[in-house]
Structure 1
Amino acid sequence: MTARLTSPDGMLQHAPYHHVAVATGSTHVHVAGQVGQVGNEPVAADDLAAQVAQALRNTATGLAGAGASFSDVVRLTFYVARWTPDRIETLMAGVQSVADEVGLPMPMPPASLIGVEVLFEPDVLVEVEATAVLP
């Protein structure tokens, strides 16, 4: 593991993610925005939890293709279309439903959730980006 995750005293505690990642290594892996789509199949329209789960599966596949895993991730970014704060439980349900399957530690690595009006296709509700560091 090249990343040490922490949430120092004085920062919001009990968040679903760590606030700080300290990484050692020289190889950086950047996984572009992954969506809740399996291959060329359409996304599960209007199902944020299902799209989040599949986007994280796709992110895990991208990481594995570079020889990395979620234990090497130092940053996650979630872009969510038509975001409203009342959707956080649905988003987190999608995360939690797949965390063990893909090896996503809970709390997660440092993460940001950015609400956007629309993503690249109208039915796409979420994109997930990841940054990892390898030795």
Structure 2
Amino acid sequence: MTTPTRISAPEGIAPAQGYSHVVWGTGRFVAVSGQCALDEDGKVVGENDARAQADQVFENLRRCLAAAGATFEDVVKLTYFTTDIAHLPAIRAARDAVIGPDRLPASSAVQVSALFRPELLVEIEAFAVIGQSAEQA
């Protein structure tokens, strides 16, 4: 398995704070749809608590990635949708708990007026690249 290459400060670009500007890898591409803070029964976890919702979202992402044979180590891009950009520190803390500060993917953060249910504060989608083994090539 190959580890994605991450560049936090390409020449002429201000250094990234909390993400990488550029990430690439070789292998099989995996796209994970936006995940919200829903448990396996479809119930909201952490109503009015951005950190609790972000923790559940990252757990849902972990499960989706695992279904494709991927881990957070394979993630090259995250897109955060939040109803209030002030939730970003809580989202980043939840991300750092599972990804760590040394393997930061490329990222975008977007404040939206609403998600598909009014009690949801955070939705995150992920793109990953899984290195191919000899038998997959």
Same fold (TM over 0.5): yes
Q: Aligned with 2:114: secondary structure?
A: coil
Structure 1: gaps spanning 5 or more residues: none
The reply to whether residue 121 of structure 1 matches residue 113 of structure 2 is no
- Residue in 2 aligned with 1:20? 22
Q: Which runs of 4+ in 1 moved over 4 A?
A: none
Asked whether the equivalents of residues 43 and 123 of structure 1 are also in contact (C-alpha less than 8 Å), the reply is no
Q: Which has the larger radius of gyration?
A: 2
The reply to whether residue 10 of structure 1 matches residue 18 of structure 2 is no
Asked whether the equivalents of residues 70 and 105 of structure 1 are also in contact (C-alpha less than 8 Å), the reply is no
Per-residue CA distance 1:108-133 (angstroms, 9 max, x = gap):
20011111000010011111100111
The reply to whether residue 87 of structure 1 matches residue 83 of structure 2 is no
TM-score by length of 2: 0.83
Give percent identity, aligned residues only: 35
TM-score by length of 1: 0.84
Please, what is the CA RMSD of the aligned residues?
1.7
Q: 1:105, 1:20 → 2: CA distance?
A: 17
Structure 2: gaps spanning 5 or more residues: 133-137
User: Superposition pairs for residues 39-118 of structure 1, below 5 Å?
Assistant: 39-40=40-41, 41-81=43-83, 83-84=84-85, 86-96=86-96, 98-99=97-98, 104-107=99-102, 108-118=104-114
Query: How far is 1:78 from its partner?
Result: 0.6
Q: 1:93, 1:3 → 2: CA distance?
A: 22
Asked whether the equivalents of residues 75 and 111 of structure 1 are also in contact (C-alpha less than 8 Å), the reply is yes
